[in-house]
């Protein structure tokens, strides 16, 4: 009896610990007019984002509430990567030497002259709006190898730093500064082929192989710290000395104990030792399940994060303080609360105001309305009477206007909170305002 009690307590403790370390989100689905599967998603700030399919690009300017397909100056060319270096400047890489650029926040895209018409360009790394590198690969039966391109003027001119034909393909690139960078590549996608790590200390003019290893193929680099790199593909690799040495980690939570082929489709380091990964669980040609996973120990262990039933993600990103997942058939989900009506022009309001929520008392949800006369950083947080944060409703830079938000009585982890008095705190700059609300279950 005592042993059973101890086991029960330990189980409860472990379950509680698991609940504490695995985020629980309140996801909602956003409709788009795109029917193809999204392969990449990115935000330049809390409002402006892009979701990319193999051939199409959709844009949002309202934090993901609506998406519009953009016109690109190319037809039927395979798009591979998208990167924004600032709110105004972004780049896209693709097949046949494709590099697209925008200088006006994505309103218009132009095709740049990369000096190459043969390689599939995929890897991209920029230090700022002007200085960047792109890697690619080609295999046309006559020539097989990788290419490294470099620009110092925002793509007005691209210089070829490396163009090899010895069979080594370049998958991705990352630069710390103007001199120090890393390139990953190999001779093929088979796990029997050795991954090769190249390092440069002169901006890419000379590449030296600093490591090679077998057993896993990875195709993308993600910066997780000053000297920490994550790499995903047919497994997960991590380096803490900027690419000199690498370690493999594969402790991935699955619904059962049987392990099949796992593919790290996308990675999102979020600071410290934490991050997210979209992982494919491949159990056959027609048995592929994609899930969102979370780590808080730099990728040593990956836990499943629940998403809506039937949704399969392919890409993950963060826009402001919220997460976005893009997947099959133009589907996007986010944990960003829905803004229920925004009026950009508000007359007769010279200072910010927090209105009393309605209904009040409420069950199960209530609406909170506030005004801000200027574009500003705004936070709207729900607290309990002990002063502990329960739910962050807004924490981003927003335009002047009237906003309506809804709180459904759940905390930041998606769990229902008990009946009681809660406080809504609106903070704009160094000013704040407080309102009380009563939840009755």
Supply the CATH number for residue 420's domain: 2.60.40.4070
- Domain count for the chain: 2
- Is 17 a member of any domain? no
Instruction: Give the mean model confidence (pLDDT) for residues 411-420.
Output: 84
2 lies in a domain? no
**Which range, 125-134, 367-376, 406-415, has the best average confidence (pLDDT)?**
125-134
Is residue 308 located within the same domain as residue 358? no
Mean pLDDT calculated for residue range 315-335 = 93
Residues 76 and 151 in one domain: yes
| Same domain, residue pair 385 and 288 | no
Which pLDDT score is estimated for 185? 96
Q: Which of 301, 334, 367 is the last residue of a domain?
A: 334
| 10 falls within a domain | no
Q: Scanning the structure block, which residue is given the tokens 């470099």?
A: 150
Q: Model confidence over 123-132: pLDDT tens digits?
A: 999 999 999 9
The Cα 49–Cα 63 span in angstroms is 7
Strand partners, 133: 125, 150
Dihedral angle of Cα 344, 349, 350, 355, to the nearest 10 degrees: -100
In a domain, 5, yes or no: no
Q: Which among 331, 343, 245 is positioned nearest to 64, based on CA atoms?
A: 331
Of the candidates 151, 100, 96, 144, the residue with the CA atom closest to the CA atom of residue 127 = 151
- 134-148, 209-223, 365-379: which has the minimum mean pLDDT? 365-379
Identify the CATH number of the domain in which residue 164 sits: 2.130.10.10
Instruction: State the number of CA atoms in the 13 A half-sphere of 331 facing the CB.
Output: 15
- What is the span of the domain harbouring residue 191? 24-334
Question: Residue 64 is encoded by which pair of tokens?
Answer: 């993901």
d(CA 211, CA 44) in angstroms, rounded, equals: 34
Instruction: Name the percent of the chain lying above pLDDT 70.
Output: 91
| Structural domain contains residue 297 | yes
Confidence at 9, pLDDT banded by 50, 70, 90: very low
Asked if residue 147 lies in contact with residue 170, where contact means CB atoms within 8 angstroms, the answer is yes
Sign of CA dihedral 358, 362, 367, 373: positive
Helices (H), 129-239: none
Examine the domain organization and report whether 250 and 361 are in the same domain. Answer: no
State how far the Cα of 247 lies from the Cα of 230, in Å rounded to an integer.
10
Q: What is the pTM of this model?
A: 0.81
Assigned domain for 195 exists: yes
Task: Read off the pLDDT of residues 83-101 as tens digits, 9 standing for 90 and up.
Answer: 999 989 999 999 999 999 9
Give domain status of residue 396, yes or no. yes
Question: Any idea which of 135-144, 229-238, 283-292 has the lowest mean pLDDT?
Answer: 283-292
Same domain, residue pair 41 and 141? yes
Residues 6+ positions from 27 with CB-CB distance below 8 Å: 307, 308, 311, 325, 333, 334, 335
In a shared domain, residues 183 and 259: yes
- pLDDT tens across 300-321, in order? 999 999 999 999 999 999 988 7
Give the end of a domain, one of 287, 316, 334. Answer: 334
Q: For the segment 255-285, what is each residue's pLDDT rounded down to a tens digit?
A: 887 777 899 999 999 988 999 999 999 987 7
Residues 110 and 182 in one domain: yes
Are residue 248 and residue 112 in the same domain, yes or no? yes
Of 10-14, 43-47, 139-143, 429-433, which gets the smallest average pLDDT?
10-14
- Same domain? For 327 and 346 the reply is no
- Provide the pLDDT for residue 21: 55
Of 306, 334, 362, the domain-final residue: 334
Check whether residue 382 and residue 418 sit in a common domain. yes
Co-location of 379 and 250 in the same domain = no
Instruction: Identify whether residues 256 and 395 lie together within a single domain.
Output: no
- What confidence score (pLDDT) does residue 188 get? 78
């Amino acid at each position: 009896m005592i042993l059973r009690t101890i086991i029960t307590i330990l189980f409860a403790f472990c379950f509680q610990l698991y609940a504490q370390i695995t985020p629980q989100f309140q996801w909602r689905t956003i409709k788009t007019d795109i029917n193809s599967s999204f392969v990449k998603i990115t935000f330049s700030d809390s409002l402006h984002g892009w979701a990319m399919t193999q051939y199409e690009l959709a844009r949002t300017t309202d934090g993901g509430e609506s998406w519009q397909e953009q016109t690109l100056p190319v037809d039927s060319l395979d798009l591979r990567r998208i990167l924004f270096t600032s709110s105004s400047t972004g780049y896209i890489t693709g097949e046949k030497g494709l590099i697209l650029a925008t200088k006006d926040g994505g309103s218009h895209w132009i095709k740049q002259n990369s000096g190459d018409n043969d390689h599939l360009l995929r890897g991209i790394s920029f230090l700022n709006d002007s200085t960047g590198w792109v890697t690619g690969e080609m295999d046309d039966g006559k020539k097989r190898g990788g290419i490294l391109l470099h620009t110092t003027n925002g793509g007005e001119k691209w210089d070829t730093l490396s163009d090899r034909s010895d069979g080594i393909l370049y998958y991705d690139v990352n630069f710390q500064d103007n001199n120090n960078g890393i390139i990953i590549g190999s001779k093929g996608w088979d796990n029997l082929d050795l991954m090769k790590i190249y390092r440069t200390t002169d901006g890419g003019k000379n590449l030296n192989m600093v490591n090679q290893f077998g057993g896993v193929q990875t195709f993308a680099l993600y910066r997780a710290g000053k000297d920490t790199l994550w790499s995903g593909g047919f497994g997960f690799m991590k380096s803490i000395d900027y690419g000199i040495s690498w370690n493999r980690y594969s402790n991935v939570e699955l619904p059962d104990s049987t392990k099949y082929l796992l593919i790290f489709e996308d990675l999102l380091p979020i600071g410290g030792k934490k991050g997210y990964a979209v992982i494919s669980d491949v159990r056959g040609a027609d048995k592929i399940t994609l899930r969102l996973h979370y780590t808080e120990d730099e990728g040593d262990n990956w836990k499943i994060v629940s998403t809506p039933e039937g949704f399969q993600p392919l890409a993950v990103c963060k826009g402001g303080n919220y997460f976005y997942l893009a997947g099959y058939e133009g589907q996007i989900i986010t944990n960003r609360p829905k803004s229920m009506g925004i009026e950009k022009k508000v007359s007769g309001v010279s200072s910010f105001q927090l209105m009393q929520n309605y209904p009040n008392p409420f069950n199960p949800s209530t609406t909170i309305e506030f005004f801000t006369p200027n574009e500003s950083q705004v936070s709207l947080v729900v607290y309990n009477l002990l002063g502990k944060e329960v739910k962050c409703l807004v924490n981003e830079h927003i335009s002047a206007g009237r906003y309506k938000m809804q709180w459904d009585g759940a905390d930041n982890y998606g769990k229902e909170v008990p009946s009681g008095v809660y406080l809504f705190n609106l903070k704009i700059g160094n000013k704040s305002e407080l309102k009380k609300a009563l939840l009755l279950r």
